[in-house]
Amino acid sequence: MFFYGCQKTPSSDSLESSKANISWHKSTIDLPGVGEFSSLALDTNNKSHISYFDKTNRNLKYATNASGSWVTTVVDSTLNEGGSTSIKVDPLGGVHIAYLSYASGVRMLKYAFNNGGDGLSLLLMLLQGWGITVL
């Protein structure tokens, strides 16, 4: 397991009206060299949780705004290559991520779980790290 956390101040774009009369608020959450294989889930407080691949550092990463501002952490730093992430948040705030890992010539399906994704216990989440299972 490996993790760290960092506060992000996302760069925010102006609102853009489309022909469907929808105003989108867009922002950059993390960079550079990140964001492939992103997967998004909402928790019971409508806060966002995103898993994604960091191709520069070969990490699985996780971003959330559960605490009010975006925080990114490394979930798994043992990937030579990765992809195909899929994230869900359970009603108790536990964060579950299934993802592909390619390390040492072996392709694996892995599963990461952290039970502290509800914002209030975000610090706990960072402290306790992720439980990772190889399937």
Partner 1 sequence: MGDYCSLALDEGGKAHISYQDEMLKDLKYATNASGSWVVKAVDTEGDVGTYTSIAVEGIGAGQKIHITYRDETNKALKYAYYGKIDVYTTEIKHYERGENYEGDLPQDKIIVPRAKTEDKTIWFLNTFDSGGVGKYSSLKQDSFKNLHVAYYDDAFRNLKYAKKTGEVREEVIKTHTYKYKGENDEEWSETNSEKSFEGITIAHQTIDSDGNVGEYASLALDTAGKVHIAYFDATKYNLKYISNQSGPFISSVVDSGGHTGIYTSIAVKNNKVYISYHQYMPQDSLRFAQAEK
When binding is defined by CB under 8 A, the residue of 4, 6, 42, 120 that contacts partner 1 is: 42
Q: Is 10 in the site for partner 1 (CB under 8 A)?
A: yes
Query: 3-class SS at 74?
Result: strand
When binding is defined by CB under 8 A, the residue of 1, 2, 5, 28 that contacts partner 1 is: 28
Q: Is 121 in the site for partner 1 (CB under 8 A)?
A: no
Binding to partner 1 (CB under 8 A) within 68-107 occurs at 83-88, 90-92, 94, 96-101, 107
Q: 86 is written with which tokens?
A: 């899929």
Q: 106 is written with which tokens?
A: 């072996």
CA torsion, ordered 69, 5, 33, 58, to nearest 10 deg: -150
Q: Is 111 in the site for partner 1 (CB under 8 A)?
A: yes
Q: Is 58 in the site for partner 1 (CB under 8 A)?
A: no
Q: Are 27 and 11 in contact (CB under 8 A)?
A: yes
Closest CB to partner 1 among residues 97, 122: 97
Contacts of 110 (CB under 8 A, 6+ apart): 76, 98, 99, 100, 101, 132, 133, 134, 135
Contact residues: partner 1, CB under 8 A = 10, 16, 18-20, 22-42, 46, 48, 50, 52, 63, 83-88, 90-92, 94, 96-101, 107-111, 133, 135
